[in-house]
Amino acid sequence: MDERISKLFEGAGSIRELGLIVERRCDGEVVANVEHVRAHSKSLECGYAGSGPADLALSALNALFPRQGSGSVDGALAALAGEAGHGSGMNAAAVGGRDSLRATVRLGWEGLEVSELAWQLHHDFEAAFLVPMDEAGGWVETGLMLTWVSERLKERGLSEPQGGTA
């Protein structure tokens, strides 16, 4: 068994450390190394477009960029600027200062709150990473996810190239 999968089942290893790890168990249940945020479905899924993959996308993004009040959205955005030094070109001051990224969205089923950033990007994330994923599961590298988020923010005018004014 892959070391990342072993760590998942040992309860160790966050999405930031290991990337997004998704596996379909023998009983058909899809498990991942993120807490399930239930907005669309009662279960997580991958390999097609639907409510289960949408929940997995929202759960993954919310784990990377937690809601306001958790004290870590600004930290996550700063990490996106530094940690995604994989050519992301993010300016932490420019992005971290955007109130819309630190805002929260309240969800109906369980009254959960997620970050505005996670909510805004989760369907695009689903299409980019979870629809093409094998139904048996897969792995998405942290750097790839952070770079993808950086690119989506730039497209929406919510960041500046590194070296821009803050």
For residue range 35-90, list pLDDT tens digits in order: 998 888 999 999 999 999 999 999 999 999 886 554 444 445 554 544 433 333 33
- Domain positions in the chain: 3-155
Tokens of 13: 């290893």
- Residue 49 is classified by DSSP as S
The pTM for the full model equals 0.73
User: Does residue 138 have a pLDDT over 70?
Assistant: yes
- Could you give the percent of the chain with pLDDT greater than 90? 43
Identify whether the C-beta of residue 79 lies closer than 8 Å to the C-beta of residue 96.
no
- Among the listed residues 80, 77, 40, 78, the one whose alpha carbon sits nearest the alpha carbon of residue 57: 40
- Among the listed residues 133, 156, 1, 153, the one whose alpha carbon sits nearest the alpha carbon of residue 81: 153
- Among the listed residues 133, 128, 123, 132, the one whose alpha carbon sits nearest the alpha carbon of residue 24: 133
Identify whether the C-beta of residue 94 lies closer than 8 Å to the C-beta of residue 164.
yes
Element (H, E) at 142: helix 142-155
User: Does residue 123 have a pLDDT over 50?
Assistant: yes
Residues sharing a CB contact under 8 Å with residue 24, sequence separation 6 or more, in sequence order: 30, 31, 46, 135, 136, 137
- pLDDT tens figures, 6-47: 555 455 468 988 999 999 999 999 999 999 988 889 999 999
pLDDT at site 157: 81
Tokens of 47: 């390999």
3 state SS of 59: helix
Average pLDDT, rounded, for the chain? 75
